[in-house]
């Protein structure tokens, strides 16, 4: 299943989810209507109410349309507003979820050995999948084995693991668990999880209102016969509170059933994706076996375990109702789905675990492909130094690589990560140095303008200038193929900057880009990616404004023209490249126009991408296919073209792995 199919299926699941939860709300309305009829029939028709409006308003018939309308509207308002409130509480992204369960943001510089091993694995997978580096949290109070991914987009995603996961899993097992969570990130499951949480809370809120009624009576006493009226009021309030609790829990029961059923189906796919990614079935089965073997298993102690259980890698709470509320399939089923020959024996833990027995590679401080000799032995290509060198490129297969997790990309990510000097990797993780790293990365591309750009940094960001000068020699000698992967690793540290520091950073960045009155392709890519992801991290949104190809035909013409010009200066070659890409968009025959360089510059591309970013998924998919054929009309691609193409894909929220360096065997 490719990225676009997974995203479409997630959207379809969301549609069905809304239908199913609507049925749960209908059940809640019916329960409320029955309760209302019951209370109404308790009002006497004689005595002090005889001849009053009440006596005539409540007939004996069980069918009361007016009452049904009132109950339905009240239920919809309560459920809708409370679901919206819960949804808005997640507007700051995955960090909100991680912190709500006691997660602590890992400091990749000062972290423990085990935390650095985790950071290393997440970095490799981030590069391999082409997604911005997610923030990493650890739940220090949880000794069980569990993890989760949360967020609304790939730009605000986080990955959280328990302390037990760090301490009890080997590197291969931890890699498989993280691969499982990256599958949820790429398949659109995170946003679905947030919707599930918000909808279930909306229904549960009715019960919380009832509980509030009952709590309001705490300590209330009826002291004498003179308080008979107040005693009646107390009874009425108590009855209403109990009724609301029962009504709410009826809907909540069905809502949790739906939530659990949706969650269980996604776990098998994520397990399979982890195996596909790591090419190591023993990793995921080993992690699941240890969950079954340790006494604590995957149980989470926080009281939010039930409401957020569908986020986790494994069952986070004890399921009631015979497993009907279980958010994950039984461990035995998950293991046998990967290893049908499994004998049914879980991991048997030792009384004392010596984690120091792990070797250097297992600790995660080096990548298997880090050295030149290791690359040569593995048959991998040497580092690519010349950005203009042309690399073999197959446009027909590129869209299948969007959001794809494979062993080949993982090995490539290890190779690229190994090519990045440790000094730069540490700077990418450090909020105190990350701004200086980006400045030096941007400055290193234009050697002749380095003095002028250095003056800009010294003037606009004096606190970062010393680090900038120290990092600049390293970025100037950096392999061009590693520039974009390194850039993707900076996003967690940049997200930690204070608002004033972030404004200063973006201002300096903009001034550096425009220092020479012209914008290079890499300058455009760097600024576009960082501003896009930082904006999404602050305000995660996924709106769609354009569903018609015709509505964005001019913008598509700009994208294809820019890419055609980026690959060559020969007029005939440029024309062929544009025509090759346009041929992939038969729906727009005679609507796409080749544009000259003045009409299809980087500023025009920026404006076009702003509109295309809010187009529908089919439009974005066909655009990326056409763009790939434009670039690859000669079956090759340069580093510069690859950076531009990946920037376009990431702007459209379609993560793309590094291009052009995949070993033939893995491709």
- Give me the mean pLDDT over the 8-35 stretch: 72
Backbone phi, psi, residue 88, to 5°: -65, -25
pLDDT at 185: 87
pLDDT at 13: 58
pLDDT tens-digit readout, 413-461:
888 888 899 999 999 999 999 999 999 988 876 555 567 888 999 999 9
Cβ neighbours for 648, distance < 8 A, ≥ 6 positions apart? 559, 609, 624, 627
Two tokens at 201?
């809370």
pLDDT of 33 strictly over 50? yes
Instruction: State the Cα–Cα distance between residues 297 and 145, nearest whole angstrom.
Output: 6
Catalytic residues: 181
pLDDT at 380: 41
| 3-state secondary structure at position 392 | strand
Note the pTM of the prediction, 2 decimals.
Answer: 0.72
pLDDT of 6 strictly over 70? no
Maximum separation of any 2 CA atoms in the chain, in Å: 101
Angle at 228 between CA 225 and CA 234, to 5 degrees: 135
Q: What is the DSSP code string of 559-622?
A: HHHHHHHHH-S-HHHHHHHHHHHHTT-GGGTTT-----TTTSSHHHHHHHHHHHTTB-HHHHHH
Helix (H) or strand (E) holding 84: helix 65-89
pLDDT tens-digit readout, 105-127:
999 888 899 999 999 999 999 98
Cβ atoms of 581 and 626 closer than 8 Å = yes
pLDDT tens-digit readout, 229-283:
555 566 767 777 787 788 777 777 777 777 777 777 778 778 888 887 777 888 9
pLDDT at 341: 86
What percentage of residues in the chain have a pLDDT greater than 70? 80
Two tokens at 163?
């302390």
pLDDT at 54: 47
User: 266, 272, 218, 206: which is closest to 242 by C-alpha?
Assistant: 206
pLDDT at 160: 95
pLDDT at 86: 83
Query: Looking at beta carbons, which pairs linking 593-596 to residues 24 or more positions away fall under 8 Å?
Result: 593/554, 593/557, 594/557, 594/561, 594/564, 595/557, 595/558, 595/561, 596/561
Give the pairing of strands 147-150 and 391-392: unpaired
| 3-state secondary structure at position 160 | strand
pLDDT at 296: 85
pLDDT tens-digit readout, 178-231:
999 998 888 777 887 887 788 888 888 887 787 777 777 665 555 544 555 555
Instruction: State the Cα–Cα distance between residues 445 and 459, nearest whole angstrom.
Output: 20
Which residue is associated with the tokens 């399921």? 319
Two tokens at 510?
């903009």
Instruction: State the Cα–Cα distance between residues 582 and 570, nearest whole angstrom.
Output: 18
Work out the pLDDT band at 56, boundaries 50, 70, 90: very low
Backbone phi, psi, residue 308, to 5°: -110, 15
Cβ atoms of 124 and 417 closer than 8 Å = yes
pLDDT tens-digit readout, 473-486:
898 888 888 888 89
Give 263's DSSP letter.
H
Give the pairing of strands 158-162 and 135-139: parallel
| 3-state secondary structure at position 378 | coil
């Amino acid at each position: 299943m490719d990225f676009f199919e997974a995203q479409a299926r997630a959207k379809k699941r969301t549609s069905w989810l809304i239908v199913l939860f609507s049925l749960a709300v209908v059940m809640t309305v019916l329960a409320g209507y029955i309760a209302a009829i019951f209370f109404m029939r308790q009002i006497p028709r004689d005595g002090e109410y005889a001849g009053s409006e009440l006596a005539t308003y409540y007939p004996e018939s069980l069918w009361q349309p007016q009452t049904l309308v009132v109950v339905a509207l009240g239920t919809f308002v309560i459920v809708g507003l409370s679901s919206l409130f819960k949804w808005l509480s997640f507007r700051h992204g995955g960090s909100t979820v991680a912190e709500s369960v006691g997660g602590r943001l890992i400091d990749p510089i000062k972290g423990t050995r085990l935390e650095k091993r985790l950071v290393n694995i997440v970095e490799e997978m981030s590069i391999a999948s082409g997604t911005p580096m997610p923030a990493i949290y650890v739940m220090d109070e949880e000794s069980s084995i569990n993890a989760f991914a949360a967020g609304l987009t790939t730009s605000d995603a986080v990955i959280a693991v328990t302390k037990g996961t760090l301490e009890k899993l080997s590197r291969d097992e931890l890699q498989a668990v993280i691969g499982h969570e990256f599958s949820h990130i790429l398949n659109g499951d995170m946003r679905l999880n947030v919707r599930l949480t918000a909808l279930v809370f909306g229904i549960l809120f009715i019960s919380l209102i009832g509980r509030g009624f009952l709590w309001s009576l705490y300590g209330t006493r009826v002291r004498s016969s003179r308080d008979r009226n107040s005693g009646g009021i107390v009874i009425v309030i108590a009855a209403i509170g109990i009724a609301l609790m029962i009504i709410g829990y009826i809907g909540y029961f069905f809502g949790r059933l739906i939530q659990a059923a949706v969650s269980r189906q996604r776990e098998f796919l994520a397990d399979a994706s982890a195996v596909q990614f790591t090419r190591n079935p023993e990793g995921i089965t080993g992690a699941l076996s240890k969950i079954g073997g340790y006494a604590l298993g995957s149980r989470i102690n926080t009281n939010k375990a039930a409401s957020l259980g569908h986020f986790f890698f494994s069952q986070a709470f004890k399921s009631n109702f015979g497993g009907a509320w279980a958010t994950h399939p039984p461990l035995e089923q998950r293991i046998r789905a990967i290893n049908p020959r499994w004998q049914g024996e879980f991991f048997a833990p030792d009384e004392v675990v010596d984690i120091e027995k792990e070797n250097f590679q297992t600790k995660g401080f080096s990548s298997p492909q880090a050295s030149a000799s290791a690359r040569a032995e593995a048959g991998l290509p040497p580092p690519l130094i010349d950005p203009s060198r042309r690399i073999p490129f197959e446009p027909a297969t590129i869209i299948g690589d969007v959001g794809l997790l494979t062993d080949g990309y993982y090995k490539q990510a290890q190779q690229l990560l190994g090519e990045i000097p440790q000094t730069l990797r540490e700077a990418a993780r450090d909020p105190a140095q990350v701004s200086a790293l980006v400045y030096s990365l941007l400055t290193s591309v234009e050697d002749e303008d380095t003095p002028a750009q250095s003056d800009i940094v010294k003037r606009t960001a004096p606190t970062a200038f010393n680090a900038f000068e120290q990092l600049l020699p390293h970025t100037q000698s950096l392999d061009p193929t590693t520039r974009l992967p390194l850039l993707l690793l900076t996003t967690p540290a940049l997200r930690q900057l204070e608002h004033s520091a972030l404004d200063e950073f973006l201002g300096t960045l903009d001034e550096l880009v425009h220092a020479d009155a012209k914008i290079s392709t890499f300058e455009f890519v760097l600024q576009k990616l960082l501003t896009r992801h930082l904006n999404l991290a602050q305000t995660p949104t996924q709106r769609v404004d354009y569903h018609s190809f015709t509505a964005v035909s001019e913008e598509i013409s700009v994208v294809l023209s820019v890419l055609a010009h980026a690959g060559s200066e020969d007029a005939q070659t440029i024309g062929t490249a544009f025509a090759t890409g346009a041929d992939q968009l038969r729906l727009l025959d005679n609507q796409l126009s080749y544009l000259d360089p003045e009409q299809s510059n980087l500023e025009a591309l920026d404006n076009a991408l702003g509109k295309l970013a809010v187009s529908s998924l089919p439009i974005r998919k066909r655009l990326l296919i056409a763009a790939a054929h434009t670039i690859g009309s000669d079956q090759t691609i340069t580093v510069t073209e690859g950076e531009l193409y990946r920037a376009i894909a990431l702007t459209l929220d379609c993560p793309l792995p590094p291009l052009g360096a995949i070993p033939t065997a893995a491709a």
